[in-house]
Amino acid sequence: MPRRTPDRLPALTRMRRYVTGSFVALVAFMAVFYVAALTTEGAPAWLVVAVVAVSVAVAAHSVFWERGAPWWLATLSLASSAALWWAAHLAEQNLTLLLFFGVSVGLVTTTPPFTSWRWLAAAVGVAVAPLLVAGPGARPVVLPVSIAVVVVTMAAIYLVYRLNRYGFDLYLEIEAARETTAELAVVRERYRFSVDLHDIQGQALHVSRLQLQLADKTLDRDPAEARRHLREAEQLIVQTIAETRRLAYGQRTLTLAGELANSTELIRAASIDLVVDGAPPVGHPADDLFGHAVREATTNLLRHAQAEHVTIRLRDDTVVVENDGAGEAPRLLSGLARLGERFAEIGGSVTTSHHDGVFRLEARAASAGAGGLAGATRASFAPGPGVATGGRA
């Protein structure tokens, strides 16, 4: 098995490793620098050993910068680095050894539950204390400057770690948003698949049921007619199986012409008179949406209407479907509402009306000459008077 390289790791893992490595490398650099400097200056051996020991403790503490170190490790890091700073000051050695204590404090005070400013103030007090012990009588003029330097140093180190924490929290939010977007894309694809599957099998099952009912009614008086209905039901089931297979393997492309042919077959198989006025526009950007509109209207009239006549009118930017079987205003359903939202996204609209038993659906896309579909941002879905938006049950 090939070894997994860092470039193949998740982005969040690489980010954590980068920050952790940077903090540990910073402490390691400080250790090497101070060991070399103290050795060159002829500092006591105990101070050099102390620097190495404190560096190990602080470096181990840095590994837990995100979630917080175990209490014993945090305590060891704080106590040893504070003791190093006190010892260096009282022995009048390199006073910049305060940096180890500053790093340890920065790690602790930027990790819950020690993020309160009181903990930082307490740490600054510990850093200033040796100055007050050693310096008030001997260097009254230098003392305020020394205190100011210590306070500024501690504050600067804290600010660095606080900014790092803030930046990493933003990165976590971005990563969470990325995961949410990916999950939403999966949900949308599942929803699209379920809608297509419902449309394919819903129509076919309903028409097959009608064909079987007709075959049952005509079996005694006209066996030949009954067999014809059975054959049509069988052919429809075979087509539905093929459509379902193409959908499952991502090979199904929805077009207005294809849906018009399918709806024509279904409507006429249900013994409903159909008139198609016009031809599907060629190459229209909303061709698939027009196909959805014809499919939705066909599903509705087959399942919810008692139509005898259906008219489908096709124009360049409009598809209209009318049926005379809507004796009452259709009940509130969701299919056409969702279709209206999809047309709205491209600047079009879906409107319905109900008058004298005739239900009319009109799907209109934005005119290409008025700015095209890509630039549209507003549309409407308006049902007619007394009509609810219809859809699949």
Cβ contact 308:340 at 8 Å: no
Q: Provide the pLDDT for residue 333.
A: 55
CB 273 within 8 A of CB 310: yes
Say if 246 falls within a structural domain.
no
Q: What are phi and psi of 351, to 5 degrees?
A: -125, 150
347 part of a folded domain: yes
Tokens coding 238: 């075979």
Contacts of 254 by beta carbon, 8 Å cutoff, 6+ apart:
196, 288, 291, 292, 295
**Three-class SS string for 41-72?**
HCCCHHHHHHHHHHHHHHHHHHCCCCCCCCHH
Pairing of strands 273-277, 358-364: unpaired
Same domain (yes/no): 24, 163: yes
**What backbone torsions phi and psi does residue 347 show, to the nearest 5 degrees?**
85, 15
Q: C-alpha angle 330/272/301, rounded to 5°? A: 20
- Residue 233 counted as domain residue: no
Q: Give the pLDDT confidence score for residue 134 in this predicted structure.
A: 56
Looking at the fold, whether 262 and 368 belong to one and the same domain comes out as yes
Q: Are residue 119 and residue 264 in the same domain, yes or no? A: no
The total of other beta-carbon atoms located within 10 Å of residue 349's CB is 18
Q: Which of 146, 180, 214 is the last residue of a domain?
A: 180
Please tell me whether residues 41 and 172 are part of one structural domain. yes
Residue range(s) defining the domain that contains residue 175: 6-180
The answer to whether position 171 is within a domain reads yes
Running DSSP on this structure, what letter comes out for residue 38? H
Whole-angstrom CA distances from 140 to 128, 130, 135, 137, 146 are 15, 14, 7, 6, 10
CATH number for the domain spanning 338: value is 3.30.565.10
Q: Is residue 66 part of a domain?
A: yes
Do 260 and 356 reside in the same domain of the chain?
A: yes
**Domain identity same for 30 and 176:** yes
* Boundary (domain end) residue, out of 116, 148, 180: 180
pLDDT tens digit at each of 393 positions of the chain: 445 444 567 788 888 899 999 999 999 999 999 999 888 888 888 989 999 999 999 999 999 998 888 999 999 999 999 999 888 888 877 788 899 999 999 999 998 888 888 998 999 999 888 888 754 444 554 678 888 888 999 999 999 999 999 999 998 888 888 888 778 877 876 777 777 777 777 777 877 888 888 888 888 888 888 888 888 888 888 878 877 877 776 656 678 888 888 888 778 877 788 999 988 887 788 888 898 888 888 878 877 778 889 999 998 889 999 998 876 665 555 677 778 888 888 889 999 888 888 899 999 987 654 444 333 333 333 444 433 333 333
Residues 170 and 268 in one domain: no
Torsion of CA 382, 202, 289, 361, to 10 degrees: -30
On whether both 73 and 176 belong to a single domain, the answer is yes
164 and 28 co-located in one domain: yes
Q: Is residue 363 part of a domain?
A: yes
Q: DSSP per residue over 114-142, as a string? A: S-SHHHHHHHHHHHHHHHHHHSTTT-TTH
CB 87 within 8 A of CB 47: yes
Asked if 143 and 98 count as a contact pair (C-beta separation under 8 A), the reply is no
The 10 Å Cβ neighbour count of residue 385 is 8
pTM of the model: 0.54
Does residue 388 lie within any of the structural domains? Answer: yes
Please indicate, yes or no, whether residues 296 and 154 belong to a single structural domain of this protein: no
Among 148, 180, 212, the domain boundary falls at 180
Residues 151 and 284 in one domain: no
Q: Is there a single domain that holds both residue 286 and residue 384? A: yes
**Tally of domains within the chain:** 2
- pLDDT number for residue 212: 87
Is 60 inside any structural domain?
yes
